């Protein structure tokens, strides 16, 4: 009874806990022509269904062919993990790349671990394994984190320990899902990095976010350039009226003031004729000197 209780407790802790707690005394045990759960076996590839909870949305064909070549030469080093869903019928938990490559390589059967897992545990194992292997793009990781928090009802603190990433990192990934669809697609397709996306998140409105995305793609902007772009968007624009060139009489007055005060003079003029005069002083004594000259 205690062994059964211990095994059930292990099922909620993810893939590593399942592997650590697997029974291996009789790894080849068969029951009525079907393999029992918690054992290692060789299973025909046509009896294994894909994982419906697979977080990866894209598999590179060239990489799959390379893996298939490696499997033909060396075999499958790491067994796939599956669950039993019927007589001679299984569902993949993890190892979809290996399964796809095995089919390309022409294998009729593959080595597997047959595990006990309900839908929620299966989703958790598939997501956690992929995140830990770091073979997902940032958007897929963000979706995986969100699903673990919502569908598997894992607290963020527990998720942090489970996947080996701090809570701020998890939050940064999840924030990607608040971006417009066009930007999410750009992240998914590696057109921009997560660093670019994190900078864009700080822009409050969607129209400006999409404008920055367009500039990034056109200019091939670095993350630092995008961060600067975002900072400048929050600053008030300098009125173009300050760029008006000074007429001759204003230039003459500016020089006259400089000669009299022996200080740096700035004179700015707007298109409507208004303007400002700035007199620079370097110390309290210099200020008193300027005032005395203006009074004289």
For each of the chain's 296 residues, which pLDDT tens digit applies? 444 444 333 333 333 333 333 333 333 444 334 444 566 889 999 999 887 766 666 677 888 899 999 999 888 888 888 888 888 889 888 888 899 999 999 999 999 988 777 777 777 777 777 676 656 788 888 888 888 888 778 888 888 888 888 889 999 999 999 999 899 989 988 899 999 999 999 898 899 999 999 999 998 999 999 998 888 876 655 544 444 577 888 888 888 888 888 888 888 888 788 888 888 888 888 888 888 888 77
The structure tokens listed for 82 are 């599956």
Q: 249 and 145 in one domain?
A: no
Number of domain units in the chain: 3
Residue 296 within any structural domain of the chain: no
Residue 132 within any structural domain of the chain: no
Q: 282 and 189 in one domain?
A: no
Q: What is the DSSP string of 66-106?
A: HHHHHHHHH--SS-EEEEEEETTEEEEEE-HHHHHHHHHTT
Q: 190 and 91 in one domain?
A: no
Of 23, 25, 38, 96, the catalytic one is 96
Residue 129 within any structural domain of the chain: no
Cα gap 292→28, rounded to integer Å: 103
Q: 111 and 22 in one domain?
A: yes
Residue 123 within any structural domain of the chain: no
Q: Is 96 a catalytic residue?
A: yes
- Residues 143-173: tens digit of each pLDDT: 888 888 887 788 888 888 888 888 899 999 9
**Which domain does 218 fall in, by range?**
139-231
Q: 157 and 250 in one domain?
A: no
Tell me the pTM: 0.49
Residue 124 within any structural domain of the chain: no
């Amino acid at each position: 009874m205690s062994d059964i209780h211990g095994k059930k407790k292990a099922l909620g802790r993810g893939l590593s806990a399942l592997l650590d707690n697997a029974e291996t005394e009789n790894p080849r045990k068969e029951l009525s022509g079907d393999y029992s759960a918690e054992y290692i076996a060789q299973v025909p590839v046509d009896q294994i269904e894909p994982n419906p909870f697979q977080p990866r949305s894209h598999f590179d064909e060239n990489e799959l062919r390379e893996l298939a070549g490696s499997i033909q030469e060396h075999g499958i080093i790491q067994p796939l993990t599956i669950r039993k869903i019927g007589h001679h019928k299984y569902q993949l938990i993890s190892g979809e790349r290996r399964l796809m490559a095995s089919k390309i390589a022409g294998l009729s059967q593959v080595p597997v671990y047959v595990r006990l897992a309900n839908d929620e545990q299966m989703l958790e194992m598939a997501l956690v394994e992929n995140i830990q292997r770091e073979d997902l793009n940032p958007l897929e990781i963000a979706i995986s984190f969100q699903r673990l928090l919502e569908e598997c009802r894992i607290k963020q603190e527990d998720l942090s320990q489970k996947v080996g990433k701090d809570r701020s990192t998890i939050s940064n990934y999840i924030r990607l899902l608040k971006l417009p669809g066009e930007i999410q697609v750009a992240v998914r397709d590696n057109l921009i990095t997560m660093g670019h996306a994190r900078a864009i998140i700080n822009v409050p409105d969607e129209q400006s976010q999409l404008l920055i995305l367009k500039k990034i793609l056109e200019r091939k902007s670095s993350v630092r350039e995008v961060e600067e772009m975002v900072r400048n968007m929050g600053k008030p624009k300098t009125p173009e009226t300050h760029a008006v060139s000074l007429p001759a009489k204003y230039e003459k007055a500016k020089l006259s003031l400089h000669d009299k005060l022996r200080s740096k003079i700035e004179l700015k003029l707007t298109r409507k004729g208004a303007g400002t005069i700035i007199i620079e002083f370097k110390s309290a004594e210099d200020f008193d000197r300027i005032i005395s000259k203006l009074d004289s």
